[in-house]
Amino acid sequence: MYNVSPQVKERFVSAAERLEMRGMERGMQRGIQQGIQQGIEKGMQQGIEKGMQQGMRQGIEKGIEKIAVSMLKKHYPDADILSLTNLSQQQLEQLKLRSQ
């Protein structure tokens, strides 16, 4: 066996500890970066899904309004328009004002 002085032993231990700490820091940085990237990807996907749902909902609402305006132009009774489109009385009144 080798006879190693305590100072040399301490240097080796200290160097090994520093290397271990660097490795841990790098691992943590990589983990944080991966977590951020995964969070961004998940957020983007959720945003796309919400946007598509909102767009579809707006499209349906515009279609219903268009039908209601057409019915108004053909002099359908308000009660029929409300019943067939499920619009509120207030929404129908707003459509009447916009379509004049």
Predicted local confidence at residue 5, as pLDDT = 74
Global confidence as pTM = 0.59
pLDDT band with cut points at 50, 70 and 90 for residue 11: confident
Average pLDDT, whole number, for the chain? 89
Residue that is written with structure tokens 């067939």 in the block: 84
**pLDDT for 9:** 66
Answer yes or no: is pLDDT of 1 > 60: no
Of 100 and 80, the structure prediction assigns the larger pLDDT to 80
The letter for the amino acid at 25 is E
The 10s digit of each residue's pLDDT in 22-57 is: 888 898 999 999 999 999 999 999 999 999 999 999
Where do the structural domains in the chain lie, given as residue ranges? 6-98
